């Protein structure tokens, strides 16, 4: 994994801008701490920061290749999981390779197939390729949107990068937000509209989108979209294919030239990955499988059961460690550090985010990075296979709104009267735009049609928020985290699977449970879903209260938006917050943490409001 950036400006001389280009590169140093490089050709510059995972010697970037008198140069961030198949195909076409890096395969796939190379890639990636004859730049992002690629188009130029901070470092992009940006932050956050980069004019390539910058114009197109198709497999065939697709995805992602480990929560998803990987490694005598879990100071003492979090993870983790025979490490996080890390979480995302869910992952990855560079995680099974409560509660399922943020009252409540009066209308339109775009079959029942809408809502909103969290918090520490459930073949299969099969046995992710029940302890295969662990220690809430009260004493662009009495009422009566701000667990402590992150963001990024 790496960080990439670039700048094209008509009739400019990029060699005169090396100072700025280096500053842009510096913003990506955490994503790529091992090597850096800048390629300049007239009015075009490409930037790369490398995190070395595959082929240390022959994978250096920017990487160039010549073909029929034309020079092609790539900057690439990601991992390709069908490298060998694609390399062999290209060899049969007469191409030669100097190493075994996936970067070289992507570059030569573009040379041979042109823009259609995107449709042949199975992986998580974002890349840019410059060609010398047409002086065009091709941009591409993976089908699922695991790897980011932001851009800003202006009169005569384009600047792009793996993170928003890279664009800001060019000084072409200003840290300005308008009413739309404020609605995103206050009424949709920590999610954001697909392609919306919050700062005015900043956009992001959509999942499955590519673009060509030619003659001062960026032309974007979708090369991958989820399609509605008839599911013709029987029950037994569906179980078998689900197992095959996920097992194949996991095994493809076990390739690395550097040490690898695995996240283990004791839940279904991470346990499947760990057990599959452990078996694979034992068969090939690759050594002990290394696992990591996260916990918080005194969490066992303060843990409270709820319908969303019915049991703690530790006993299931122990069970899984024994079953898969792993060498396990538990990282215990300090609650004061958890609040302190809200600042780094904002810097990692360039935006206010998922508060303690972000900061805990950031600290967790920081510890893992001391010994490992690559990890695998069970992210995204819930969105694809109906793991969340809102898939199963019929009252919520058919509510005409985002199921993880059903009411915007608390969001409007913390703002002064008259601030963003159209916030709820803004959210409503985003919701409607999404469900209307969900492809369906004429034969779909009312339930199946709604499940397709729910899939689309979760895929393009909730899942993207979690993928953004996973990418930024891990790459902020120079740790590559792979997500096997995001294999596009599994996504396509899940979209068209009838609900009766997906919810096999009437259970969340029932088909996945059934497909892997024979390799897991029964208690884990059929364990009720439990979300990412959060702190239950009152220290966290109390520390958030102290910091928010200090914020409320300030007089600045951010606090002028707040209804300070309303914020104080949350502090005084946290139990009155019954509807989560976002997701299942983002209640009073997390709302206060979000206010802390907003304050950090406005200050650190010198945000201006138009």
Alpha-helical runs (H) found in 414-525: 423-437, 446-457, 463-475, 488-495, 499-502, 510-516, 522-525
CA distances from 373 to 1, 275, 284 (A): 10, 20, 21
CB contact at 8 A, 545 and 571: yes
- Which residue from 50, 77, 112, 54 is spatially nearest to 252, judged by alpha carbons? 54
Partners of residue 376 on adjacent β-strands:
262, 482
- Which residue from 34, 35, 41, 33 is spatially nearest to 15, judged by alpha carbons? 41
Identify the DSSP state of 421: T
- Which residue from 247, 208, 190, 185 is spatially nearest to 415, judged by alpha carbons? 185
> Which phi and psi angles does 539 have, rounded to 5°?
-55, -40
Single out the catalytic residue among 2, 210, 486, 544. 2
CB contact at 8 A, 520 and 323: yes
Give CA torsion, residues 379, 385, 388, 389, to 10 deg. Answer: -170
CB contact at 8 A, 348 and 579: no
CB contact at 8 A, 78 and 126: yes
CA distances from 132 to 5, 43, 135 (A): 18, 11, 5
User: Which residues 6+ apart lie within 8 Å of 536 measured at CB?
Assistant: 296, 299, 302, 303, 304
Q: Identify whether 473 is a catalytic site residue.
A: no
Structure tokens at 547: 């910091």
Question: Could you tell me the sign of the dihedral formed by the alpha carbons of 413, 419, 424, 430, in that order?
Answer: negative
First-to-final CA distance of the chain: 36
Would you please indicate which residues are annotated as catalytic (active-site) residues? 2
């Amino acid at each position: 994994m790496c960080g990439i950036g670039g700048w094209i400006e008509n009739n400019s001389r990029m060699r005169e801008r090396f100072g700025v280009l280096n500053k842009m590169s510096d913003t990506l140093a955490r994503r790529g701490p091992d090597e850096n490089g800048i390629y300049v050709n007239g009015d075009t510059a490409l930037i790369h920061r490398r995190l070395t995972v595959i082929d240390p010697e022959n994978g250096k970037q920017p990487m160039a290749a010549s073909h029929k008198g034309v020079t092609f140069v790539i900057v690439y961030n990601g991992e390709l999981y069908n490298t060998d198949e694609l390399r062999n195909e290209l060899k049969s076409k007469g191409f030669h390779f100097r190493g075994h890096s996936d970067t070289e395969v992507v570059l030569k796939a573009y040379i041979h197939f042109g823009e259609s190379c995107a449709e042949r890639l199975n992986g998580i990636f974002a890349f840019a390729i410059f060609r010398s004859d047409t002086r065009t730049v091709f941009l591409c992002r993976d089908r699922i949107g695991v790897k980011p690629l932001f851009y800003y188009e202006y009169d005569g130029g384009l600047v792009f990068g793996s993170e928003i901070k890279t664009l800001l470092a060019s000084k072409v992009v200003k840290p300005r937000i308008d009413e739309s940006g404020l609605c995103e932050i206050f009424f949709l956050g920590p999610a954001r509209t697909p392609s919306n980069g919050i700062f005015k004019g900043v956009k992001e390539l959509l999942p499955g989108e590519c673009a060509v910058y030619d003659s001062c114009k960026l032309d974007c197109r979708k090369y991958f979209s989820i399609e509605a198709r008839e599911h013709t497999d029987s029950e037994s065939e569906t179980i078998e294919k689900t197992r095959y697709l996920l097992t194949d995805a996991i095994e493809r992602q076990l390739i690395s030239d550097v040490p690898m480990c695995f996240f283990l929560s004791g839940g279904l998803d991470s346990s499947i990955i760990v057990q599959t990987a452990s078996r694979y490694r034992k068969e090939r005598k690759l050594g002990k499988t290394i696992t990591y879990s996260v916990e918080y100071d005194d969490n066992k003492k303060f843990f409270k059961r709820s319908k969303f979090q019915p049991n703690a993870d530790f006993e299931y983790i122990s069970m899984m460690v024994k079953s898969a025979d792993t060498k396990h490490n538990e990282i215990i996080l300090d609650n004061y550090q958890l609040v302190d890390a809200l600042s780094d979480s904002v810097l990692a995302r360039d935006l206010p985010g998922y508060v303690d869910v972000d900061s805990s992952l950031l600290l967790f990855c920081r510890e893992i990075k001391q010994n490992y560079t690559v990890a695998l995680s069970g992210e995204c099974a819930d969105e694809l296979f109906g793991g969340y409560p809102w898939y199963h509660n019929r009252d919520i399922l058919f509510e005409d709104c985002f199921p993880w943020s059903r009411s915007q009252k608390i969001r409007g409540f913390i703002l002064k009267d008259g601030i963003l009066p159209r916030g709820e209308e803004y959210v409503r339109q985003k919701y409607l735009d999404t469900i209307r775009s969900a492809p369906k079959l004429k034969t779909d029942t009312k339930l199946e049609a709604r499940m397709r809408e729910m899939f689309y809502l979760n895929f393009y909103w909730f899942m993207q928020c979690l993928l953004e969290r996973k990418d930024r918090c891990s790459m902020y520490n120079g740790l590559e985290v792979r997500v096997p459930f995001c294999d596009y073949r599994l996504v396509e299969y899940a979209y068209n699977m009838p609900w009766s099969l997906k919810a096999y046995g009437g259970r969340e992710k029932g088909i996945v449970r059934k497909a892997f029940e024979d390799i897991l302890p029964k208690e884990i295969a059929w364990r009720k879903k439990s979300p990412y662990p959060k702190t239950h220690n009152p220290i966290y809430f109390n520390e958030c209260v102290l910091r928010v009260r200090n914020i409320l004493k300030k007089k600045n662009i951010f606090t002028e938006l707040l209804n300070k009495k309303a914020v104080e009422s949350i502090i005084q009566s946290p139990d009155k917050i019954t509807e989560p701000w976002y997701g299942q667990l983002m209640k009073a402590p997390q709302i206060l943490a979000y206010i802390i992150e907003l304050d950090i963001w406005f200050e650190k990024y010198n945000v201006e409001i138009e």
